[in-house]
Structure 1
Amino acid sequence: MIEVSKLTRRYGDTTAVRDLSFTVRPGHVTGFLGPNGAGKTTTLRMLLGLIEPTSGTATVSGHSFRRHPRGLHHVGALLDAGDVHGGRSARAHLHALARSNGIPTRRVDEVLTEVGLTGAAARRRIGGYSLGMKQRLGIATALLGDPPVLLFDEPLNGLDPEGVLWVRQLFRRLAAEGRTVFVSSHLMSEMEHTADELVVIGRGELIAAESLDEFAARGTQPTVTVRTPDAGALAALLSAEGAAVVPYDTETLKVAGVDSVRIGEIAHEHRFLLWELAAQAASLEAAFMELTADSVEYLAGESR
């Protein structure tokens, strides 16, 4: 289990993480979400003892990571797939870690097989690896000590579709084995396929810590997309019906508060031509965009 309590990290006048508290339970894949600059990587580095908190605590299985001897037995982590010695082979890299952590050397070939880096790939120098291969090696490193707690920061970067599917299945299997799996990602669609629970932060502060379904339900209610050459006139009628109507462009409306059946009836009664009438359920991405809107550090098209 991971427990974060009132965790704060300041750099001079800048507060990267502020009074952050949450728990990550075993047996689940927990997604760690937030806009760029939200403090996700800083939080993970404090969990791993790489950064000292200004105040508060971050513990794994009840202890600071630094108090765990031979840490790979307790926590496996992938923070930066490129942070490896490029002149070593994958097998040599893992052998060195196994020796320093008291891990049987047989685990090296086991995890290389697990991630699909066998044969010539295992003997190749890491400096010649693609990003996707480095990600696989990073995952192998996290698995090396067969730990009960696993942390992954953007593990899908550089992976092809087959690799993405493999990672999804791997994370779910690890959670099903009773492990704690904590995955930081900016890919909302992947969290919908992978995570059971979410921890969402913005500007270093907690926004939500709940199930994926609960978080998605907090976002904007289901909407209906309507395309018609008479968007202005139809918008007026729908507003009078009690709908919340937002023009998307000159021919498209986003409508909430009235379902697609009633919109179709109104359009038929007043002889409006409809080019599109499509109901859209609330989504994780929509909820994330809405609930983190005030926490985004850089906005496209924003003048400074």
Structure 2
Amino acid sequence: MARGRTRRGPVSGIVVRVIEIQELTKRYGGKTAVDGLTVTVRPGHVTGFLGPNGAGKSTTLRMIIGLNRPTGGSVTVQGRPHASNPRGLWYVGALLDASEVHGGRSASGHLRALARSNDIPRARVAEVLAQVGLADAANRRIGGFSLGMKQRLGIAAALLGDPQVLLFDEPFNGLDPEGVRWVRGLFRQLAAEGRTVFVSSHLMSEMQHTADHLVVIGRGRLIADESLSDFAARSVRPTVSVATPDAVRFAEILREQGVRVQSTGVQTLEVADLAAARVGELAFTHRVQLHELTTHATSLEEAFMDLTADSVEYLAGDPR
């Protein structure tokens, strides 16, 4: 534990410390990476920061900790620009790029250098290495680490100053299934202690197991800012697959009821926003023979893809 720090309990009873982003903009020449972004990231939650590759997530994180200067707007951490904190790791811990470490140093040497520059007690180095499962690799050179081990080392560096605010950019890259499960549990634990945990990813499938709240951006602009449950309720819509030898007639019957229907084959239909039981009732009433009637729930991953479809910068062709 860092000098003079105590373990934090639940959110109640502590000063609310947040990341405040107001009209944040970053341009590189004629390209706008972040475009008027306004977001508040609150403590006590794991907030997922989602968007396609090139959406502006990494640029936003770099501006939060003062590595990049905004073209316009502002961002503060705990009420002030983070760059004004002389011992930054006491306030914000960040994993931005696990590969950006000196390969010739040992894991403990790398963390000792960070601790020395931020006036953090040396004892914290052994503590965080043990916490992330790298105690046995403390004296090994980082150049021989796998990507998953580098991710763990980056998380250890973020935890070194026992900060209230933590930022993680694509922290699941290179981790095996056990490592992914461990990181999920760590993030939830940190949030339960009342910390602000902001996790960037382009994988909705990972965030649905990790985050409580979602901030979704595309082409540098805000698309959604809501709880995971609200995102699921708003975006996940079931469809019903129907197989019938009378597909053309049945499609017309459904459209007369105001139902959205799409033909997916000679004898197959996809019906939206109508329960399978009601589809079956209409088929029975109009003497339509059914061979199949199946409900399919749209996954959160599909909902995310639909939501960000217009914001994908690099779109590959259909491989089929």
2:35 to 8, 15, 18: 18
**Distance across 2 between alignment mates of 1:104 and 1:25:** 28
Label 1:85 to 1:233 Cα distance change in 2 as closer, same or farther (>3 A).
farther
User: Per-residue CA shift, 1:156-182, capped at 9, x if unaligned?
Assistant: 001111111111110000000000000
Deviation of residue 246 (structure 1)? Answer: 2.5
Go from structure 1 to structure 2 and tell me whether the alpha carbon gap of 1:224 and 1:272 turns closer, same or farther (over 3 Å shift).
closer
Match of 2:185 in 1: 169
Tell me what 1:102 maps to: 119
Structure 1: distance between partners of 2:41 and 2:165: 10
Report what 1:298 is aligned to: 314
CA offsets per residue over residues 128-161 of structure 1, 9 Å max, x none? 1111111111111100110000000000001111
CA RMSD of aligned residues (A): 1.8
Indicate how the Cα distance of structure 1 residues 235 and 71 shifts in structure 2: closer, same or farther if over 3 A, else same: same
Identity %: 67
Which TM-score applies when normalising by structure 2?
0.88
The counterpart of 1:33, out of the listed 50, 54, 67, is: 50
Give 1:202-221 correspondences, 5 Å limit.
Answer: 202-219=218-235, 221=237
Q: Which residue of 1 aligns with 2:213?
A: 197
Q: Is 1:270 aligned with 2:288?
A: yes
How far apart, in 2, do the equivalents of 1:266 and 1:25 lie? 48
Note if 1:73 corresponds to 2:90. yes
Q: Give, in whole Å, the separation in 1 of the partners of 2:29 and 2:184.
A: 39
Q: Which amino acid aligns with 2:29?
A: G
Q: Which runs of 5+ in 1 are unaligned?
A: none
Mapping for residues 115-264 of structure 1, pairs under 5 Å: 115-119=132-136, 121-219=137-235, 221-227=237-243, 231-250=247-266, 252-264=268-280
- Are 1:88 and 2:75 an aligned pair? no
* Secondary structure class of the residue paired with 2:135: coil
Maintained 8 Å contact 1:267/1:273: no
1:286 to 280, 288, 302: 302
What is the TM-score when the length of structure 1 is the normalising length?
Answer: 0.92
SS at match of 1:194: coil
Distance between the aligned counterparts of 2:52 and 2:264, measured in 1?
A: 24
- Distance in 2 between the 1:248 and 1:137 partners? 49
Structure 2 distance, partners of 1:134, 1:232, is 57
Deviation at 1:252, TM superposition (A): 4.7
Q: C-alpha separation between the residues in 1 aligned to 2:241 and 2:123? A: 57
